Structure 1
Amino acid sequence: MKKIITICLLTAGFYACNNGGGTETKTTTATTEPAADTKTTAKTDVTDSPDFVKGLELVNNNDCKTCHKVDEKLIGPAFRDVANKYPNNPSTLDTLAHKIIKGGQGNWGSIPMAAHDKLSVEDATAMAKYVLLLKNN
């Protein structure tokens, strides 16, 4: 008897969670004007960008993740913190690319960033583009 009651309760619970399996018809009405305090901001999905894909591949194939994470400080700053600090423009890309190649110290504390002198300027720029695409809007 306990098994039958348990099965019935579980079945009822699944049914309730599923809201009847979509047998209801919902009607919505569209408004022609957005509310006065509603702002519409469309964020583009940067993960489909060729710059994002190429940069991510380079970051994953080098030692970047030894010291950096996307959203958390590890040894070095989070990539997103770097993106939020700098504007995404050619001058910044050049500066960051050379910083990746030559290494450095002082912009994010006393721990130095190792040099990556075997990277080409093109690859370092692609990595910098990837990082800057992580900017929060």
Structure 2
Amino acid sequence: MLIFNPPAKADTVALMDLVQAQCLSCHQMDRKRVGPPFREIAQRYAPGPGQETLAYLQRQIQQGSRGNWGAIPMPAQNRISADQAQAIAVWLLSLANTTSKESS
């Protein structure tokens, strides 16, 4: 089992700024918007092989996807670098074992 370590605090702030600017128009933490909730993505992919899962999510973020979560495709995120996409993937997978505030 691969453990995903969250980024350092300064990196976390930059990452959350990126997520807010690029991802939150379609995704929410615990509720479906246009795309699936972040926690649902994490729960689907976290059990997979670590490096392969990270590479897969990184590609999906950068290149977009179609049909994985329904009829609405995820557009390619051309403004997100490979390093940024990998950081988002690591962060997403770290959500798999967290609980939402709504379920407490």
1:111 aligns with 2:68: no
CA displacement at 1:63 relative to structure 2: 2.2
2:65 & 2:74 partners in 1: Cα distance? 5
> Within 5 A, what are the aligned runs for 1:68-87?
68-87=27-46
1:134 aligns with 2:95: yes
Q: Which has the larger radius of gyration?
A: 1
1:55 & 1:84 partners in 2: Cα distance? 20
Identity of aligned residues (%): 38
CA displacement at 1:104 relative to structure 2: 1.1
Q: Indicate which of 53, 56, 59 corresponds to 1:98.
A: 59
For residues 57-94 of structure 1, what are the alpha-carbon distances to aligned partners after superposition, in whole Å with 9 as ceiling and x for unaligned? 3212x320000001111110000000000126111111
Alpha-carbon contact 1:56-1:130 (below 8 Å) kept: no
1:105 & 1:111 partners in 2: Cα distance? 7
Moved over 3 A (4+): none
> Within 5 A, what are the aligned runs for 1:1-12?
none
Task: Structure 1 unaligned segments of length 5 or more: list them.
Answer: 1-45
CA RMSD of aligned residues (A): 2.0
Task: Structure 2 unaligned segments of length 5 or more: list them.
Answer: 99-104
2:79 & 2:32 partners in 1: Cα distance? 25
- Quick check: 112-121 or 51-60, which moved more? 51-60
Alpha-carbon contact 1:55-1:129 (below 8 Å) kept: no
Aligned length: 89
2:15 & 2:95 partners in 1: Cα distance? 11
CA displacement at 1:134 relative to structure 2: 0.7
